[in-house]
Structure 1
Amino acid sequence: MTLKNTPDRWGAVSQSFHWLIVLLILALAIVGLTMGELPRTPKYFWVYTAHKSMGITVLALMLLRLGWRLYAGAPKPVAGTPTWQAAIAAVTHWALYALALAIPLSGWLYDSASGLRPFRWFGLFDVPKLVGPNEWLADQARDAHELLFWVLVVLVAAHAGAAFYHHLFQRDDTLARMLPRRRPRPTTPTQDPDHVA
């Protein structure tokens, strides 16, 4: 597998960015949907800081992924894909990129405008504030953060559903080209039962 994308497949770098970001966003979603139920103990604040740290990580990875996409290009649509499907897929990809950037940015803005102390990214360094305390802006950023998350959920479901539809019913390589290519098994010559060593 090559590092760079080819006309037929996503390369190793794009695949790594894709699946790492998917896992991080899944973890962020689980934590984000459940941390409000946690009692306000030191564990709650640790979980909350971890959520924010992972969000900043997704933002940084998405910027790197976008830069790599602009540099390495993208595979062409699978042969036989109707033009309208290719257009919808392209719009969906860019919308997912935009949401994966906007959601952590809105969370960072919410944290900044809330007037809380700077949080430390995984305990290593303080993350700077984007703005000063502003209750109205904090409310708007929080609402945007939640709304954009649910829009992302809908788009991810449509994106994954389309990939599985292509894989199961169209029988094409739409899903497979974002997965590591399997190495073919070495073939061993079949032994002639009549052959005596």
Structure 2
Amino acid sequence: MDRYTSVARALHWIMAVLIIVNLVLGIGHDALPKDWAVMPVHKSIGLTVLALTLVRLAWRLGHRPPPLPAPMPGWEKAAAHATHFVFYAFMILMPLTGWIMTSAGTRPLNWFFLFDVPKFAVAKGDILVDISGEGHELMGFAWAALIILHIAAALRHHIMLKDNVLQRMM
């Protein structure tokens, strides 16, 4: 069976957990206790996702993914490729828009309280900050929906179609 490399699988699952946790923290932060350090942890996870995305892209450039099953319809292959493209775009754009928004604030930006991260030279009211804020929120909801569809598609392949699509990443 064609499988992704062990590095690709590890990056996929580590990032999947980080991204899902971060979407829950970002979307649900108002409902969580105020004494939890929700937003600093959310920002740290976002920076981690950005760094891991660069590692993942570098790995992907040198290691081709296994082919999709030959009998898979063309529209399904196109949907899979489009979804992966959007996931990579979100893995870059979500942390960057968050970083831009944070840069306009007065609080420091740090990575898990271990060291400070430099901020971009932006200020509240800048059009880039406003666009980043709106985009960050909209992408968060879109990404959550796309992840649910991604999981549903993987389970469809595993349970209903009984092909090796899910096993390639296990």
Same fold (TM over 0.5): yes
Maintained 8 Å contact 1:62/1:97: yes
State the identity %.
40
Q: CA RMSD in A?
A: 1.7
Residue 132 in structure 1 maps to residue 122 in structure 2: yes
1:11 counterpart residue number? 5
Shift of 1:38: 4.8
Shift of 1:123: 1.4
Q: Distance in 2 between matches of 1:25 and 1:76?
A: 25
Q: Distance in 2 between matches of 1:28 and 1:99?
A: 13
1:156 counterpart residue number? 147
Return closer, same or farther for 1:88/1:38 CA change in 2, 3 Å cut-off: closer
2:27 counterpart residue number? 33
Which has the larger Rg?
A: 1
Indicate the structure whose relative CO is greater, using CA pairs within 8 Å and at least 6 residues apart: 2
Q: Distance in 2 between matches of 1:11 and 1:105?
A: 28
Amino acid paired to 2:74: T
Unpaired segments of 5 or more residues in structure 2? none
Unpaired segments of 5 or more residues in structure 1? 1-6, 180-197
Q: TM-score, normalising length from structure 1? A: 0.79
Deviations 1:101-160 (A, max 9, x none): 11111101110123x233221112111112232324333211111101111112212221
Structure with the larger helix share: 2
Amino acid paired to 1:13: V
2:156 match: secondary structure: helix
1:81 match: secondary structure: coil
2:62 counterpart residue number? 71
Q: TM-score, normalising length from structure 2? A: 0.91
Greater mean alpha carbon deviation, residues 127-136 or residues 56-65: 127-136
Q: Distance in 2 between matches of 1:39 and 1:75?
A: 44
Return closer, same or farther for 1:125/1:91 CA change in 2, 3 Å cut-off: same
2:51 counterpart residue number? 60
2:82 counterpart residue number? 91
